[in-house]
């Protein structure tokens, strides 16, 4: 049972905490920065899942140390590139938000805000009141069906 | 039987499509199939059962079972017979060609046919809902622009589907309790226990709603806005019988249960009496008939739910009789409305003179309804009285039945009086297209009444499955006795009731507060809408940070609490035995401090550019940590990615203000955000340690080393990426391609393609291939020289990384990124013209080509047996000697091209396209 080096664990904690804090901000650039910090943290977690530090997983290197687990490294490698792509996408969104709205801030959903603000309507249907009582109704009818 | 149901589906589409121009021919052609169904059912009457089965997903126990037994025969006679007549009638009733209506009517008939043939609860449910859906369409189809029609259609849909779902829950409970969803097996061996009983009650609720039983009946009178043929067929003859049918189907199994009879008979009696009383107060003839239907359905519930043989015989007779008298009465109203333009009794006068044939036919139907001999209704009523003529509790039921009969007599006469009574002088003008169907149905009621033996033969086998007097037979004349006396009493009472309370149109208004189901329904709908509004208002407040905070808090609350609880209870790993150490390598703490400081500073940064630079610092230091951990490939990739990200950020940031907008969040919000983030970071750290120390199986990763040796690959990580997990990698590069498309779309959409700028900047000695403007302003000879000289070198190095990836650090990902760096270096001093000169290929072509090459390499693997199968080719070249070319190299080339394409896409969009923006202040709006 070899756990990860504690100093790295602390690093992961800081990366996650700062990343998540920035993610919850309103400025989109802060969100992008937070996302990338989270990405670093996640990659580090992946790598640490492979156990303690070791020699690079290259064959024929002749290193005496045990080789580090290559599988988390492979996963982290693709994760890095994907993070890069997603970051580009987020940046493009921030730019577009800036262009359309004049600011790069996360806006509240207008429709949701409208629902919060309005009062519930009393009449769900646009039916004349006299047609709401089937027993007493005096149907304005006679035009044929 | 499956063919029959499918035939309905075909006819429903084909006939309106083929004959849509000729409304009468279309209606008659559509009527052929229901008529044939009824004919087929008639030939099966009194003979044995037929079954059919289609294995749909036998592994899941899903089969489609059909079964034709005596009860199904009766229902098919009703559904097919009345359906055929109503369809013909529709051809003459509508002025326009109603394709959708006729098609849906046929589809409805098909669904109804499937419903009565189904021998599986789930199949039955599907057909049940199909009838609901067609009912929704049929109610609203002719005048969808009227709010009242839409409302009625929606109400019918909501009521029957809501309780349909309740019924489905009941079906599942029953099916699970019985271990089978086959109805015949379930009836033969009914399940017991609380679950089965609950299921039974839920099923009954569904049946009550479908058959419009009080207090779930409001949708039926509301549905009277539908065109008359629809009302006659769905809301009198067929669809509303589905609930009664289901009760009849399950009565042999559950009638002995203590809950069944009180519930069914209680609800039936309530409907019988309440429906009759309300019918007596209507002046709209269709509504009068609708409440009459509710009343009659109540009686059917009583008879078919009673679970005794005589009652079942009476129920079977009334089932048929009701279809044969209520449908023609609806059609009568339709004919009156068609000819006179109104269906209100107070506006109709003297119609009997104008339409004598119709009047006579309607009178015959009413006679059957109120139980006069020799009509079928009389036969049914005699049997009904006989079934409950045993004293005890039955006496109360009997009293109810007689009272209901009296009410039926009263509103029956009221109907005739209202529709045809009054003085008028007009010449007879009968409309045979509309009168014919009424006459046919009324005559059928008479014919079956005169010869009840045929019905006895058809219904006998079903009634025989129930306990009770085995001798009783349906007949016109049973001799003088209690039944005939009570029938006479009911008629006398009914006439008296009519004379007292039923003669005026409209009746004097009375405020009824006890039973106004429409108001209750509206109230429930209102309450649901208000509830939904309230919940939405509280839950969906529209703020993204709050949503994220809730997600984070949930992570802390659920797995976080579990982790903490486990640690407190001492289930965590043994820390004493664990090999805990502060660091593996002395360089780690140094780098960690850099990461932490940069990350915290990025959090506090007030300028966007500082944040970007600090972010890059974090990235580079993390790369260093990767090296220390033993991942040179990772570190290489991360360093290049970090550089590219920084450039990308800077390219975008030049269009944004220098400083962040001031934070508007108040102190509590900031504290909450900080608290959640800090706890989340702590949680991840603790989880990481606990998970790593709790490992009890050997990791699979090192096993890949042996594979790499076998493959002759030196770089295990790259081998995993392009061979072991090649399919994953393929998916990932596809994601990258999609991302690139998204970036292009977001940045360039809604903008005019820029004109190629004219006049070239001149006069400066340049190291670059084309004159241009540096995107970030300023110019640096040093950068230009470096770009010109280093560019090719970097490209060569990237190719080396690509090819070396097989044995040394490198690979497609990092190679592509490094190649991208070469072009970035050309772009920064030279602008987009320089970029275009440096690489005349469009980035999208690179992305597509890379993805195509990777997929093609995978497809070539099929030659070796499977997708992405890899082989190694050996070749001897002059000078170079023997070389090995693994197929995975081509896959890696695909990755290389795609990543290069991604980098260039980002450069051309975030970089070059943004150059065209002269007004970066965001005032531009779409």
Q: Could you tell me where the DSSP H helices lie in A59-139?
A: 70-101, 110-117
Say whether both B654 and B729 belong to one domain: no
Q: Under a CB-based contact definition with an 8 Å cutoff, are residues B308 and B387 in contact?
A: yes
Question: Measured between CB atoms, does A141 come within 8 Å of chain B?
Answer: yes
Cβ-based neighbour number of residue B298 at 10 Å: 31
What CA–CA distance (Å, rounded) separates B595 from B589? 10
pLDDT, residue B273, reads 92
A41/chain B closest Cα distance in angstroms: 9
Longest CA–CA separation in chain B, Å? 126
Identify the residue among B514, B545, B599 best suited for mutation to test binding to A, counting A beta carbons within 10 A and taking the highest: B599
Q: What is the number of structural domains in chain A? A: 1
Question: C-alpha angle with apex B873: B868 to B874, nearest 5 degrees?
Answer: 165
What CA–CA distance (Å, rounded) separates B92 from B88? 7
Say whether both B594 and B740 belong to one domain: no
Candidates B342, B509, B661; nearest CB to A136:
B509
Cβ neighbours for A13, distance < 8 A, ≥ 6 positions apart: B681, B682, B684, B685
Say whether both B590 and B725 belong to one domain: no
B640/chain A closest Cα distance in angstroms: 10
What CA–CA distance (Å, rounded) separates A41 from A8? 10
Q: What is the number of structural domains in chain B? A: 2
Total residues found in chain B within this entry: 926
Which residue in B868, B833, B836, B839 sits closest to B853, CA to CA?
B868
In-domain check, residue B273? no
What CA–CA distance (Å, rounded) separates A71 from A82? 17
Cβ neighbours for B252, distance < 8 A, ≥ 6 positions apart: B187, B307, B465, B466
pLDDT, residue B913, reads 63
The two structure tokens encoding residue B590: 């140094």
Decide if B637 and A81 are in contact by the 8 Å CB cutoff: yes
pLDDT reading at A119 higher than 70: no
In chain B, which residue's Cα lies nearest the Cα of A104? B656
Give the strand pairing for B62-68 and B50-57.
Answer: antiparallel
Identify the residue among B629, B720, B816, B896 best suited for mutation to test binding to A, counting A beta carbons within 10 A and taking the highest: B629
Cβ neighbours for B184, distance < 8 A, ≥ 6 positions apart: B67, B119
**Residue numbers in A near B662 (CB within 8 A):** none
In-domain check, residue A101? yes
DSSP letter (8 states) at residue B874: E
- From start to end of B428-529, where are the E strands? none
Decide if B701 and A69 are in contact by the 8 Å CB cutoff: yes
pLDDT, residue B593, reads 93
What CA–CA distance (Å, rounded) separates B718 from A57? 10
Reported as a single tens digit per residue, the pLDDT across B187-227 is 888 888 888 999 999 999 999 999 999 888 888 888 888 88
Whether the bond between B374 and the residue before it is cis, its omega within 30 degrees of 0, is yes
In-domain check, residue B607? yes
In-domain check, residue A106? yes
Total residues found in chain A within this entry: 145
Phi and psi at B165, nearest 5°, equal: -65, -40
pLDDT reading at A64 higher than 70: no
What CA–CA distance (Å, rounded) separates B716 from B734? 23
Say whether both B793 and B889 belong to one domain: yes
**Residue numbers in A near B663 (CB within 8 A):** 25
In-domain check, residue B175? no
What CA–CA distance (Å, rounded) separates A52 from B630? 9
**Residue numbers in B near A69 (CB within 8 A):** 699, 701-702
Q: How far is CA B160 from the centre of its chain?
A: 16
Which residue in A102, A110, A81 sits closest to B645, CA to CA?
A81
In-domain check, residue B428? no
The two structure tokens encoding residue B770: 């084309």
Question: Measured between CB atoms, does B341 come within 8 Å of chain A?
Answer: yes
Cα torsion at B126, B131, B133, B138 (round to 10°)? 170
Cβ neighbours for B35, distance < 8 A, ≥ 6 positions apart: B80, B81, B84
- From start to end of B23-91, where are the E strands? 50-57, 62-68
Phi and psi at B117, nearest 5°, equal: -90, -20
Identify the residue among A85, A102, A103, A124 best suited for mutation to test binding to B, counting B beta carbons within 10 A and taking the highest: A85
Question: Measured between CB atoms, does B899 come within 8 Å of chain A?
Answer: yes
Decide if A135 and B743 are in contact by the 8 Å CB cutoff: no
Say whether both B615 and B743 belong to one domain: no
The two structure tokens encoding residue B917: 């923006």
Cβ-based neighbour number of residue B731 at 10 Å: 11
Decide if B533 and A113 are in contact by the 8 Å CB cutoff: no
In-domain check, residue B926? no
pLDDT, residue B60, reads 78
**Residue numbers in B near A59 (CB within 8 A):** 705, 708-709, 713-716, 807
Q: Assign residue B831 a region: left if phi > 0, alpha if psi is -120 to 50, beta otherwise?
A: left
A31/chain B closest Cα distance in angstroms: 10
| Structural domain boundaries, residue B599 | 582-661
- The CATH number assigned to the domain holding A13 equals 1.10.287.3510
In-domain check, residue A140? no
Bridge partners of residue B715, in order along the sequence:
A58
Query: 3-state SS string over B143-154?
Result: CCCCHHHHHHHH
**B residues 292..321 contacting A (CB < 8 A):** none
In-domain check, residue A37? yes
Question: Measured between CB atoms, does B615 come within 8 Å of chain A?
Answer: yes
Phi and psi at B883, nearest 5°, equal: -125, 155
Q: Under a CB-based contact definition with an 8 Å cutoff, are residues B105 and B233 in contact?
A: yes
pLDDT, residue B751, reads 61
Which helix (H) or strand (E) is B135 found in, with range? helix B121-140
The two structure tokens encoding residue B404: 């209901």
What CA–CA distance (Å, rounded) separates B882 from B873? 10
What CA–CA distance (Å, rounded) separates B210 from B486? 31
Bridge partners of residue B875, in order along the sequence:
B883
In-domain check, residue A58? no
Cα torsion at B74, B77, B83, B85 (round to 10°)? -130
Whether the bond between B506 and the residue before it is cis, its omega within 30 degrees of 0, is yes
Decide if A21 and B674 are in contact by the 8 Å CB cutoff: yes
In-domain check, residue A102? yes
Which residue in A136, A130, A134, A128 sits closest to B221, CA to CA?
A134
In-domain check, residue B859? yes
The two structure tokens encoding residue B913: 């396209």
The stretch A94-123 carries a mean pLDDT of: 72
Reported as a single tens digit per residue, the pLDDT across B585-618 is 888 899 999 999 999 998 888 888 899 999 999 9
A46/chain B closest Cα distance in angstroms: 10
pLDDT, residue A26, reads 83
Phi and psi at A60, nearest 5°, equal: 80, 10
In-domain check, residue A39? yes
Decide if A7 and B589 are in contact by the 8 Å CB cutoff: yes
pLDDT, residue B922, reads 42
pLDDT, residue B510, reads 67
CA dihedral (B554, B557, B562, B566) positive or negative: positive
Question: Measured between CB atoms, does A97 come within 8 Å of chain B?
Answer: no
DSSP3 helix / strand / coil % (chain B, rounded to 5) = 70, 5, 25
What CA–CA distance (Å, rounded) separates B327 from B329? 5
What CA–CA distance (Å, rounded) separates B431 from A21? 80
Bridge partners of residue B886, in order along the sequence:
B872
Say whether both B655 and B742 belong to one domain: no
Say whether both B622 and B736 belong to one domain: no
Question: C-alpha angle with apex B44: B40 to B49, nearest 5 degrees?
Answer: 125
What CA–CA distance (Å, rounded) separates B98 from B89? 13
The two structure tokens encoding residue B473: 């037979």
Q: How far is CA B518 from the centre of its chain?
A: 28
Cβ-based neighbour number of residue A18 at 10 Å: 27
B320/chain A closest Cα distance in angstroms: 28
Could you identify the residue written with the tokens 């009686």? B299
As a whole-number percent, the residues of chain A with pLDDT over 70 amount to 76
Whether the bond between B761 and the residue before it is cis, its omega within 30 degrees of 0, is no
Burial class (CB in 10 A: 0-12, 13-18, 19+), B891: buried
**Residue numbers in A near B912 (CB within 8 A):** none
DSSP letter (8 states) at residue B656: S
| Structural domain boundaries, residue A39 | 6-53+70-117
Say whether both B646 and B733 belong to one domain: no
Helices and strands in chain B: count of H runs, count of E runs: 36, 4
Decide if B648 and A98 are in contact by the 8 Å CB cutoff: no
Cβ neighbours for B662, distance < 8 A, ≥ 6 positions apart: none
In-domain check, residue A128? no
In-domain check, residue B152? no
Cβ neighbours for A3, distance < 8 A, ≥ 6 positions apart: B578, B579, B580, B689, B692, B693
Helix, strand, or coil here: B467?
Answer: strand
Decide if B342 and A55 are in contact by the 8 Å CB cutoff: no
Question: Measured between CB atoms, does B682 come within 8 Å of chain A?
Answer: yes
The two structure tokens encoding residue B612: 């970007």
Decide if B700 and A25 are in contact by the 8 Å CB cutoff: no
Which residues of chain B are modeled with pLDDT < 50? Answer: 755-765, 918-926
Which residue in B709, B715, B873, B712 sits closest to B807, CA to CA?
B715
Give the strand pairing for B872-877 and B881-886.
Answer: antiparallel
Bridge partners of residue B876, in order along the sequence:
B882
Q: Under a CB-based contact definition with an 8 Å cutoff, are residues B377 and B458 in contact?
A: no
In-domain check, residue B391? no
């Amino acid at each position: 049972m070899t756990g990860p080096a504690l100093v790295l664990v602390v690093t992961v904690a800081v990366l996650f905490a700062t990343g998540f804090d920035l993610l919850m901000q309103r400025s989109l650039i802060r969100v992008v920065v937070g996302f990338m910090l989270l990405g670093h943290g996640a990659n580090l977690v992946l790598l640490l899942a492979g156990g303690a530090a070791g020699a690079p997983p290259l064959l024929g290197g002749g290193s005496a140390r045990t080789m580090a687990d290559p599988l988390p490294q492979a996963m982290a490698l693709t994760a890095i590139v994907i993070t890069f792509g997603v970051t580009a996408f987020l940046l493009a969104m921030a730019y577009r938000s800036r262009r359309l709205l004049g600011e790069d801030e996360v806006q509240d959903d207008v429709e949701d805000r409208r629902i919060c603000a309005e009062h519930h309507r009393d009449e769900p249907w646009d039916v004349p009141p006299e047609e709401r009582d089937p027993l007493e109704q005096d149907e304005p009818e006679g035009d044929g069906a | 039987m499956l063919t029959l149901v499918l035939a309905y589906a075909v006819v429903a589409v084909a006939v309106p499509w083929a004959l849509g121009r000729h409304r009468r021919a279309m209606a008659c052609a559509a009527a052929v199939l229901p008529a044939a169904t009824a004919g087929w059912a008639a030939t099966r009457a009194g003979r044995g059962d037929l079954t059919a089965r289609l294995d749909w997903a036998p592994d899941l126990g899903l089969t489609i079972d059909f079964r034709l037994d005596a009860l199904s025969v009766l229902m098919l006679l009703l559904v097919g017979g009345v359906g055929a007549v109503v369809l013909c009638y529709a051809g003459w009733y509508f002025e326009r060609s109603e394709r959708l209506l006729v098609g849906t009517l046929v589809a409805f008939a098909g669904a109804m046919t499937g419903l009565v043939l189904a021998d599986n609860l789930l199949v039955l449910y599907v057909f049940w809902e199909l009838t609901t859906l067609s009912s929704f369409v049929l109610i609203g189809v002719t005048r969808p622009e009227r709010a009242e029609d839409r409302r009625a259609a929606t109400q019918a849909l909501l009521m029957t589907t809501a309780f349909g779902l309740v019924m489905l829950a009941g079906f599942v409970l029953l099916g699970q309790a019985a271990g089978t969803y086959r109805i015949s097996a379930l009836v033969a061996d009914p399940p017991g226990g609380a679950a089965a009983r609950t299921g039974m009650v839920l099923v009954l609720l569904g049946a009550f709603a479908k058959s419009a039983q009080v207090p779930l009946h409001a949708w039926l009178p509301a549905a009277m806005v539908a065109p008359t043929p629809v009302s006659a067929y769905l809301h009198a003859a067929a669809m509303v019988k589905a609930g009664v049918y289901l009760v009849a189907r399950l009565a042999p199994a559950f009638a002995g249960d203590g809950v069944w009879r009180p519930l069914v008979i209680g609800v039936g009696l309530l409907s019988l009496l309440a429906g009759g009383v309300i019918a007596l107060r209507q002046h709209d003839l269709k509504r009068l008939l609708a409440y009459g239907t509710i009343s009659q359905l109540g009686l059917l519930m009583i008879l078919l739910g009673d679970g005794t043989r005589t009652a079942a015989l009476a129920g079977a007779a009334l089932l048929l009789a009701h279809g044969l008298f209520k449908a023609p009465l609806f059609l009568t109203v339709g004919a009156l409305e068609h000819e006179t333009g109104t269906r209100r009794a107070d506006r109709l006068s003297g119609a009997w003179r104008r339409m004598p044939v119709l009047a006579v036919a309607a009178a015959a139907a009413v006679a059957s309804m109120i139980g006069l001999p020799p009509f079928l209704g009389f036969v049914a009523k005699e049997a009904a009285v006989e079934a409950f003529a045993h004293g005890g509790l039955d006496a109360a039921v009997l009293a109810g039945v007689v009272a209901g009969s009296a009410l039926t007599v009263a509103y029956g006469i009221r109907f005739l009086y209202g529709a045809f009574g009054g003085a008028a002088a007009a010449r007879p003008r009968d409309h045979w297209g509309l009168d014919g169907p009424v006459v046919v149905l009324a005559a059928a009621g008479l014919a079956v009444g005169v010869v009840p033996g045929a019905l006895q033969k058809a219904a006998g086998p079903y009634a025989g499955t129930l306990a009770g007097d085995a001798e009783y037979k349906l007949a016109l004349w049973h001799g003088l006795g209690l039944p005939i006396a009570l029938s006479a009493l009911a008629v006398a009472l009914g006439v008296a009731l009519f004379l007292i309370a039923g003669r005026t149109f409209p009746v004097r208004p009375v405020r009824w507060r006890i039973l106004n189901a429409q108001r209750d329904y509206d109230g429930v709908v209102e309450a649901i809408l208000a509830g939904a509004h309230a919940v939405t208002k509280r839950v969906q407040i529209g703020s993204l940070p709050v949503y994220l905070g809730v997600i984070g808090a949930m992570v802390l609350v659920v797995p976080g609490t579990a982790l903490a609880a486990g640690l407190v209870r001492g289930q965590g790993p043994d820390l004493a035995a664990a090999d805990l150490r502060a660091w593996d390598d002395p360089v780690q703490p140094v780098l960690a401090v850099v990461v932490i400081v940069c990350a915290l500073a990025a959090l506090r940064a007030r300028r966007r550019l500082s944040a970007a630079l600090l972010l890059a610092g974090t990235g580079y230091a993390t790369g260093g940590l990767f090296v220390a951990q033993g991942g040179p490939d990772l570190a290489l990739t991360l360093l290049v990615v970090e550089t590219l990200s920084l450039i990308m950020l800077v390219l975008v940031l030049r269009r944004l203000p220098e400083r962040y907008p001031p934070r508007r969040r108040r102190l509590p919000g900031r504290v909450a955000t900080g608290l959640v983030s800090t706890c989340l970071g702590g949680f991840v750290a603790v989880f990481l340690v606990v998970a790593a120390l709790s490992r009890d199986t050997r990791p699979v990763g090192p096993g890949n080393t042996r594979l790499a040796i076998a493959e002759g690959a030196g770089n295990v990580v790259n081998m995993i990426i392009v061979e072991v997990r090649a399919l994953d990698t393929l998916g990932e590069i596809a994601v990258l391609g999609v991302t690139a498309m998204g970036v292009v779309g977001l940045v360039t959409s809604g903008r005019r393609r820029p004109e190629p700028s004219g006049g070239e900047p001149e006069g400066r000695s340049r190291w670059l291939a084309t004159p241009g403007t540096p995107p970030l302003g300023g110019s640096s000879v040093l950068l230009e020289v470096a770009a010109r000289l280093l560019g090719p070198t970097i490209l060569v190095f990237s190719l080396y990384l690509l090819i070396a990836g097989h044995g040394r650090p490198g690979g497609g990902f990092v190679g592509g990124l490094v190649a991208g760096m070469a072009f970035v270096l050309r772009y920064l001093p030279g602008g987009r013209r320089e970029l275009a000169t440096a690489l005349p290929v469009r980035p999208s072509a690179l992305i597509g080509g890379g993805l195509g090459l990777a997929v093609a390499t995978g497809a070539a693997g099929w030659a070796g047996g499977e997708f992405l199968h890899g082989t190694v080719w050996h070749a001897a070249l002059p000078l170079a000697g023997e070389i090995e070319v693994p197929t995975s190299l081509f896959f890696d080339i695909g990755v290389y091209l795609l990543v290069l394409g991604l980098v260039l896409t980002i450069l051309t969009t975030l970089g070059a396209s943004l150059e065209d923006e002269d007004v970066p202040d965001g005032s531009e709006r779409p």
